[in-house]
Amino acid sequence: MKFQPLGQRILVERVEEPTTTSTGIIIPDNAKEKPLTATVKAISKEVKEEGEIAVEDKIVFAKYSGTEITLDSKEYLVLNTDDILGVLK
């Protein structure tokens, strides 16, 4: 299934955080916070015209932002561009 964001929105897939600390301690799932970094999977026409964000960019976004959706059994997040804090280079 293909998803095309509208307006000033993008579709992202969260980047999974490591499950162990640098010292080797395993972090249980219930103690982990959801990651605030993601890979851009689709952008709207308006966002593409601005040229600041492209598909496959890695971004950092605000903690309580976006709408979670499931497409083809994978979880994604639809974000408004105002919720994006920056692009990781």
Examine residue 60 and state whether it is found in any structural domain, yes or no. yes
Examine residue 55 and state whether it is found in any structural domain, yes or no. yes
pLDDT digits (tens, 9 = 90+) for 63-88: 889 999 999 999 999 999 999 999 99
Consecutive H or E run containing 41: strand 37-43
Examine residue 21 and state whether it is found in any structural domain, yes or no. no
Examine residue 3 and state whether it is found in any structural domain, yes or no. no
CATH of the domain at 64: 2.30.33.40
Examine residue 2 and state whether it is found in any structural domain, yes or no. no
CB 47 within 8 A of CB 9: yes
Q: 31 lies in which domain range? A: 9-16+27-88
Distance CA 21, CA 8 (A): 36
The model scores a pTM over 0.85 = no
pLDDT digits (tens, 9 = 90+) for 13-68: 998 766 666 777 766 655 555 668 999 999 999 999 999 999 999 999 998 899 99
